[in-house]
Structure 1
């Protein structure tokens, strides 16, 4: 990115945007809370930063244009996440969830040493299995374990309860263990952090 354009991936650029001068304060707060997470999620799905930026900016533009209607929704974060997922789905109808497998594997490979590259091969199977999870479990696992948000943040981003996130994590872990043919015992209480 050139120096003329702020980096949309940095939290500082979002804070510098000063949207409150032209947009409702509650929209600005929502934007600042969700923008980075939406960008990271979209990039993982689309495997291209510019495309992800376009999708996320389009979604936020639509939300801003209809903000009074959005606020009448029973669950604003869930409504916005659904809008994001719909916009992403429109951009990748032919290979649904396939970029995720390659993106997640590539991100792991960038961080891997030669000794860890053997692990990467098994991670490819894991990422492919994650891509086959039911939609809500998939979203929770991607946000929690691939993008690294804690369970409370995942609940906030998705507009669901903390208990729902824990339930989806538990169900996804059981399904993944079954599909990958590994022994699984339900862990003790997960950190709320």
Structure 2
């Protein structure tokens, strides 16, 4: 793990007392592992830390509602990442930042690598992808004409 993302203990989105009680230990462990990286990603799209934390909280609540199905899916990390992406896109306003909207999966990988500072194995863990495929997609995102982050 890098030090560039928000650590769980420092996170404004850490569970409040009584929040998501009764969830299986697997869910709690999943949230502890992924919440800091999710928050770092959300902070790219929401300038106010409280707003980014709220979006992550909403995404984790949405994940909790479908946790048994997600856990039984072939790739729980990928399913959870899509819930986060959808929550970010739903809550994002076109005015922030710089008028761009959450976009493609390739852009997300570039954000996680170049802005958040995650190494490719960490990105693979967060998005539920294959490290070699992520390396290839990151190379593609650096080609001329790609978006500057």
Deviation of the 1:45 alpha carbon: 1.1
Correspondence for 2:84: 84
- Give yes or no for the alignment of 1:179 onto 2:145: yes
Q: Distance in 1 between matches of 2:25 and 2:60?
A: 14
Q: Distance in 2 between matches of 1:73 and 1:133?
A: 25
- Give yes or no for the alignment of 1:49 onto 2:46: no
Greater Rg by CA:
1
**1 or 2 for the larger relative contact order (CA 8 Å, sep ≥6)?**
2
Correspondence for 1:23: 23
Correspondence for 2:124: 155
- Return closer, same or farther for 1:43/1:20 CA change in 2, 3 Å cut-off: closer
- Return closer, same or farther for 1:60/1:19 CA change in 2, 3 Å cut-off: same
Which structure features the higher share of helix residues? Answer: 1
- Return closer, same or farther for 1:18/1:32 CA change in 2, 3 Å cut-off: farther
Query: Secondary structure, in 3 states, of the residue corresponding to 1:74?
Result: coil
- Return closer, same or farther for 1:152/1:18 CA change in 2, 3 Å cut-off: farther
Deviations 1:99-153 (Å, cap 9, x if unpaired)?
1x59xxxxxxxxxxxxxxxxxxxxxxxxxxxx69961221111111111111100
Compute the TM-score of the two structures, normalised by the length of structure 1. Answer: 0.62
CA contact (8 A) 1:19 1:28 kept: no
CA contact (8 A) 1:55 1:88 kept: yes
Query: Secondary structure, in 3 states, of the residue corresponding to 1:179?
Result: coil
Q: Distance in 2 between matches of 1:26 and 1:154?
A: 20
- Return closer, same or farther for 1:20/1:59 CA change in 2, 3 Å cut-off: closer
Equivalent of 1:137, from 86, 106, 111? Answer: 106
Segments of structure 1 that go 5 or more residues without pairing to the other structure are 1-8, 103-130, 181-193
CA contact (8 A) 1:34 1:157 kept: yes
Give the 4+ runs in structure 1 shifted more than 4 A. Answer: 17-21, 131-134
CA RMSD, 1 decimal: 3.0
Q: Distance in 1 between matches of 2:108 and 2:56?
A: 16
